[in-house]
Amino acid sequence: MNHTFYCIRLKRNPFNYGCRAVNINKDLATELYISERIESTLNELDNLRLIRYDRKNGYLSSTELGRITSHFYVRCETMSIFCQQFGINLEGNEDMEEFMNKKNEYKTDLQILRILAQAKEFENIKLRNEEYAEIKKIHRNCWALDEELDLTMKKTHATDKGLMTDEAVIETAEKVIILLNGYLYKERFENFSLVSDS
C-alpha cells in the first residue's frame, strides 16, 4: 500500500488530501491517516457485503457481490442502491420486513430498468433540448416493454420575461431507460450528444 500513487502523493502533500499532519512528525501522521482510511474503507465494504472483514485477525475475503462490483466497475453507492431495491439485506438495517417484501415482490421489466437507471454512473446524463425529438423517435420505434413512459412536453415559465414556453422535462432515469431500449434494438443515434451518452 505504501508504494501506491495515492500514498506517495499523500506523503508529499498531506494537507491536499485532508491529512492534518503535524510538522514535527509528518511521517507518523500520514501513516496513521492511511491506516484510518484503510480501516474505514474496509468497514464500508464489509457493511455493503462486498467483502467479509474479520477485524480481530485482519482476515479479508471477497463475496460474490464484491466480485460483480469489481468486475463491472460498479460504484459502491450504486451497489447499495441495487441491494436496497432488490431486497438484499445489508447488515445494520433494522427493517427486515420491508426487505423481505422487496425481495419477494414481482418486478416488471420497467421497474427493473428504473432500478438500473438509478445507478450513480448515470448521474451526469441529462436531457438536452436538441435531443428531445430523437428521444421521442427512439421511444416510439424501439419501445419493447408493456408499460409506457410519459414523454409529454411540459409548460414552464421563462424566468426573464414571464412567458410560458414548452420545454422537454425528462428525468435522467427515463432517458437512460430509452437509451437502453435503443441499444437493445441496435438503433443508430443521429444526435452527437446521444451517441456520447450511449
Task: At 155, give phi and psi (nearest 5°).
Answer: -80, 130
Identify whether residues 136 and 73 lie together within a single domain. no
Q: How many domains does the chain fold into?
A: 2
Identify whether residues 129 and 187 lie together within a single domain. yes
Structure confidence at residue 160 (pLDDT) = 54
Is 78 domain-assigned?
A: yes
Task: For residue 70, give the nearest of 92, 40, 48, 39 by alpha carbon.
Answer: 48
Name the residue with higher pLDDT: 2 or 58: 58
- pLDDT-above-70 percentage for the chain: 75
Is 113 domain-assigned?
A: no
Identify whether residues 20 and 96 lie together within a single domain. yes
Block residue for cell numbers 446524463: 125
Identify whether residues 154 and 66 lie together within a single domain. no
Q: Which neighbouring-strand residues pair with 52?
A: 61
Task: For residue 114, give the nearest of 178, 198, 56 by alpha carbon.
Answer: 178
Task: For residue 58, give the nearest of 38, 29, 74 by alpha carbon.
Answer: 38
Identify whether residues 140 and 169 lie together within a single domain. yes
Joined grid coordinates for residue 88? 438484499
Identify whether residues 80 and 126 lie together within a single domain. no
Is 13 domain-assigned?
A: yes
Q: What is the per-residue pLDDT across 63-107, written as a single tens digit (0 to 9) for each?
A: 888 898 889 998 888 888 888 887 776 655 556 666 666 666 777
Is 96 domain-assigned?
A: yes
Last residue of a domain, which of 71, 106, 141? Answer: 106
What's the domain range around 152? 120-197
Non-local (6+) Cβ contacts of 143 within 8 A are 149, 181
Identify whether residues 142 and 70 lie together within a single domain. no
Interatomic CA distance for residues 76 and 44, integer angstroms? 9
Eight-class DSSP state of 84: H
Q: What is the per-residue pLDDT across 19-52, written as a single tens digit (0 to 9) for each?
A: 776 666 777 777 888 888 888 888 888 888 888 9
Identify whether residues 14 and 38 lie together within a single domain. yes
What average pLDDT is seen over the chain? 76
Structure confidence at residue 22 (pLDDT) = 60
Q: What is the per-residue pLDDT across 120-172, written as a single tens digit (0 to 9) for each?
A: 888 887 777 777 777 788 777 777 777 776 666 555 555 555 554 555 566 77
